Amino acid sequence: MHVLILGGTTEARRTAELLHGVPGLRVTSSLAGRVAAPRLPPGEVRVGGFGGAEGLARWLREHGVGLLIDATHPFASTISFNAAGAAATAHVPLLALRRPGWVDAEPAAGGDWHPVGSLEEAAAILPDLGRRAFLTTGRMGLAAFAGCDGVWFLMRSVDPPQGPRPARMEVLLDRGPFTLEGERELLARHRVDVLVTKDSGGAATAPKLVAAREAGVPVVVVRRPGGPEGVRVVGDPEGAVEWVARLAGVRALGARVRPQSPPGLRPGGPPDGLN
């Protein structure tokens, strides 16, 4: 059984690790290629796009893929819709692996959060919330904040940004996981008074949210885009492995599944490029 994992995320790598080396399975991980030096998962790896839903469907057929796992970033909606279309065309079972988000959990913790629907909406309300922003939405989409002349930005990403950007911006190149102590120090050292992030979920970059809550720093959070309907969704790699084991009939996978602690804002775990 050939399993194709669309990813580059922490969850995609973990799924590949759990499936790698299991007799009767061939695992290929596909990376978009947006990060210059990605952390490669075990097994076969391909880098680059497929050419839309039609190209992905053709690749599935030509390479004899029997199961497709969409473990891409929660904000990579285009590839998710392409995956759904390709799976339907090629008649390949599809699973979406989506880490739990932060928006629904944080209000109960007492954070000062301001959910918005887009980067443009985030930029529109930002000047009313602060003047020194910690921008952690990734290096793509900086153009949305180019007009915020009254705001100074600290932008953190894995690779250097390109294209239009805010006039007053300092770039911090770093790769998580990040510690709570480190995030506290960063907010204090740069006198950050507002945090901008996406509802990426996961633990690798969550300490910044805890540090912001402790410091009373408001958080502007961009909600996740909608995904394709009718696709089975699980919240962790273990759930994906159980799905593969059931459909592929591989009993050896049972011993590899480990219980997960409840999702929350916890430090630790490798990153996926958004910081």
Q: Is the pLDDT of residue 173 over 80?
A: yes
In tens, the pLDDT along 183-239 reads 999 999 999 999 999 998 877 778 999 999 999 999 999 999 988 999 999 999 999
Mean pLDDT of all residues in 255-273: 43
pLDDT 10s digits, 57-103: 999 999 999 999 999 988 889 999 999 999 999 999 999 999 888 88
Can you give the CATH number for the domain in which 119 is found? 3.40.50.720
Same domain, 110 and 202: yes
> What is the pLDDT, as a whole number, of residue 139?
84
pLDDT value at 168 more than 50? yes
For residues 82 and 150, state if they share a domain: no
- Are the C-beta atoms of residues 148 and 127 closer than 8 Å to each other? yes
Averaged pLDDT, 19-38: 85
Q: Residue 108's pLDDT band (boundaries 50, 70, 90)?
A: low
Residues 111 and 217 in one domain: yes
Domains contained in the chain, number: 2
pLDDT at 156 (0 to 100): 93
**273 in a structural domain:** no
**What pLDDT is recorded for position 274?**
46
pLDDT in tens, 5-22: 998 888 999 999 999 999
- For position 199, what pLDDT does the model report? 92
- Is the pLDDT assigned to residue 252 strictly greater than 80? no
* pLDDT reported for residue 140: 83
pLDDT of amino acid 190: 97
* Residue 258 CB-density burial (10 A; 0-12 exposed, 13-18 middle, 19+ buried): exposed
Among 83, 16, 26, 41, residue whose Cα is nearest residue 240:
16
Comparison of pLDDT for 35 and 166, the residue scoring more = 166
At residue 267 the predicted structure's pLDDT band, cuts being 50, 70 and 90, is: very low
Select the more confidently predicted residue: 66 or 37. 66
Q: Is the pLDDT of residue 146 over 80?
A: yes
Q: In this model, does residue 123 exceed pLDDT 60?
A: yes
Is 43 within a domain? yes
Q: Are 205 and 178 in contact (CB under 8 A)?
A: yes
* Of the candidate ranges 23-37, 64-78, 140-154, 257-271, the one whose mean pLDDT is the lowest: 257-271
Dihedrals φ, ψ of 119, to 5°?
Answer: -65, -35
Q: What is the pLDDT of residue 141?
A: 86
Indicate if 7 and 18 belong to the same structural domain: yes
- Evaluate if pTM is beyond 0.75: yes
Residue range of the domain that includes 34: 2-100+225-256
The residue-averaged pLDDT of 143-172 equals: 92
* Residue 95 counted as domain residue: yes
Tell me, yes or no, whether 94 lies in a domain.
yes
96 and 232 share a domain? yes
